[in-house]
Every structure is written in C-alpha cells, then in structure tokens.
Amino acid sequence: MIRCTDVRKVYRQGDTEIIALGGVSLEIPRGVFAAIMGPSGSGKSTLLHLIGGLDRPSDGELLVDGRLIAQMADDEITLFRRKRVGFVFQFFNLLPTLTAFENTALPLVLDGRSKAQAGARARLLLAKVGLEKREHHLPEEMSGGEVQRVAIARALAFGPPILLADEPTGNLDSKTGEAILSLLRRINEEDGCTVVMVTHSNEAARYSHRTIFLRDGRVEKEAA
C-alpha cells in the first residue's frame, strides 16, 4: 500500500539546505494502523505530507496506493488527494463558514457531484461519526472533539483507502482525544482503511498496529 525507498526531502532556504528526510525506507501494508513518532524536526509531518501528495520527494521512490507520487502531474495528484487519501489535521482545518454537513460534502462537491448525491453521502458519514444531529452547525458552534469528527467525516468522503492524520488529538483534551483515536481505530477495522497517524503521544500510539520512530529524518526503529 505505502512503500518508501530511500525517500529524501531537502528544503532550500537561501544558500542553506535543510534535510527534512535523509533517506527513509519503510513499508506500510494495506489495512494497517501505523503511528509515526519522533521528536520535533524529525521529519514526521514531512513524511506524512509526502505520502499524502501534499509535497513531492526530492529523491527516492515513494509508491502510494500503487502510484509513484513523484511522477504525477498537478491535476493528477490533486485527484489522488481528493479520492484516494483522507486528511485529518491537528487544527481541524474545517472551513469556518460552512456547516458540518457542508464541510463533509465539500470534497464531493469539488468533484462535481450533485448537491443531492454529496448530501446523502455526507449525512451517512456524519452519522458514522455520531454527528447526525449537528449537521447544520458551524465549526465555531461545536466542541473540539466534534469539529475533529467532522474533519474525519470529510476525510472519508470518497471512502479513501488511506487516511492520514497529523496529530489528530494534539489540540484536544485527553478524553476527547481517546474518543477520536477510537473512531480512527474503528474506521481502520470496519472499512479496512490504512491509517497513518503522526503523534507525539505514546497513549495515542497505543491505538496503532505499528509505530515507526523517526529521528533526524531517518527511521530510527519500528515497533509492533
């Protein structure tokens, strides 16, 4: 499902080269819930962004869902993000002017689905995350946990085979965080969706099948 072979990511700042990933090789099979851990600056988020097609590797081979990220054109990679990958962010990143329902339906509408089609799917997903009664609320009218659940529902709009979560509980209290992690685990188990989660928290990592430790842009160790 996800295979990194000596993936490198180098940023340039003026004349300085910043090596975010210094040659990462790993494999995450389909249906696995993987946690990526490591100290700040270890390259966790960079790796997640590369897997999700938000950025492109400087070198190495990155195969996601059978496709080479580096070789995809911008429109192709956009469609890949839209349909094959779901994102959940630490700061939720819902659009503040859209309701829970509209936020959830957004990727489908961007894909040109009719409002009715998108709406039906959005309702289903909101029910799945337990927010069917909150669909007409704006993000600012909901709690952090609810907002993150909407973000998860949005990420599942196309039923993607891969769900990427960047510190999904980093902005939540522990109880709410646990509920979110349980939800992610349930999605992983029920839908067979591969989940890759970046986290600082050992508690959160416990929900995963595998934990990958990064340090200075390289895989330090892996734990089952």
Partner 1 sequence: MFALLSTISWRHVRRHRLRTLLTFVGMALGVAVIVAIALVNRSLSTSFQSTIEQIAGKAVLQVSNAESGIAESIFPTIRDTEGVQYAAAAVEGFLPVSGVERERLYVLGVDLLTDSAVRDHQFTDSGFAFDQALDFIAQPDSIALTESFARRFGLRIGARITLGTSAGKQSYTVRALLKEQGTARVFGGNFALMDLPAAQRAFGKEGKLDIVDLTVEEGSKIEAVQERLRLRLSGMADVERPKKRGEQIESLLTSFRVGLFFVSLIALFVGFFLIYNTVAVSVVQRKREIGTLRCLGMRRGELLRLVVSEAVILALAGAVAGCVLGWALAQAALLAVGETVRNLFSSIALAGSSLSMNELALALASAVGVALFAALHPAVEAIRISPLENARQAAWRPVFHGSKSWATRLGFLCLVVAPALVFFAPSVAGGVRQFSLGIVGMLVFLLGLASFSPLFISFAVRQFQRCAAGIPGLSWAETRLALDSVMRNPLRSGITVATMIISLAAIFTIAAFINSVRGSLLAWVDQMVTADIIVSSGARTAGPRNVSLREDPLPGLKALPGVRVVDLYRLVRANYQGRPIVVESFSAVESASVRTLPMAEGDGTKALREMAEGKGAIISESFQRRFGKGTHDTIELATPSGPVGFKVLGIYVDYSSDIGSVLMDRALYKKYWRDDLVDAFDLWLEPGADMQAVIEKIKAAYGEKYQLFVSTHRELRDAVVKIMEQSFVVNYAVEIVAIVVAIFSVINTLLASVLDRTREIGVLRAIGATQAQIRRMVLLEAASMGLMGGLLGLFAGTIMAYHHVVYNTKVLTGWTFQFYYPYDTALFALMAAVLLCLAAGYGPAKQAAAIPIVSAIGYE
Which residues are near partner 1 by CB under 8 A? Answer: 46, 49, 52, 54-55, 74-75, 78-79, 81-83, 87, 89, 91, 93, 95-98, 102, 105-107, 109-112, 115, 154-155
Could you tell me the smallest distance in angstroms from the CB atom of residue 135 to partner 1? Answer: 16
Counting beta carbons within 10 angstroms of the beta carbon of residue 201, is it exposed (0 to 12), middle (13 to 18) or buried (19 or more)?
middle
17 three-class SS: strand
Residue with Cβ nearer partner 1 (145 or 207): 145
Identify the DSSP state of 218: E
Could you tell me the smallest distance in angstroms from the CB atom of residue 224 to partner 1? Answer: 30
Could you tell me the smallest distance in angstroms from the CB atom of residue 98 to partner 1? Answer: 7
Could you tell me the smallest distance in angstroms from the CB atom of residue 116 to partner 1? Answer: 11
Residue with Cβ nearer partner 1 (49 or 128): 49
Residue with Cβ nearer partner 1 (45 or 188): 45
Could you tell me the smallest distance in angstroms from the CB atom of residue 97 to partner 1? Answer: 4
Q: In whole angstroms, what is the distance from residue 96 CA to residue 103 CA?
A: 9
Q: Which amino acid is at 174?
A: S
Residue with Cβ nearer partner 1 (26 or 54): 54
How much of the chain is helix, strand and coil, in % rounded to 5?
40, 30, 35
Residue with Cβ nearer partner 1 (93 or 201): 93
Could you tell me the smallest distance in angstroms from the CB atom of residue 221 to partner 1? Answer: 26
Tokens of 166: 């960047």
CB 92 within 8 Å of CB 176: no
Counting beta carbons within 10 angstroms of the beta carbon of residue 96, is it exposed (0 to 12), middle (13 to 18) or buried (19 or more)?
exposed
Residue with Cβ nearer partner 1 (30 or 115): 115
Cα-flanking dihedrals φ and ψ of residue 144, to 5°?
-60, -40
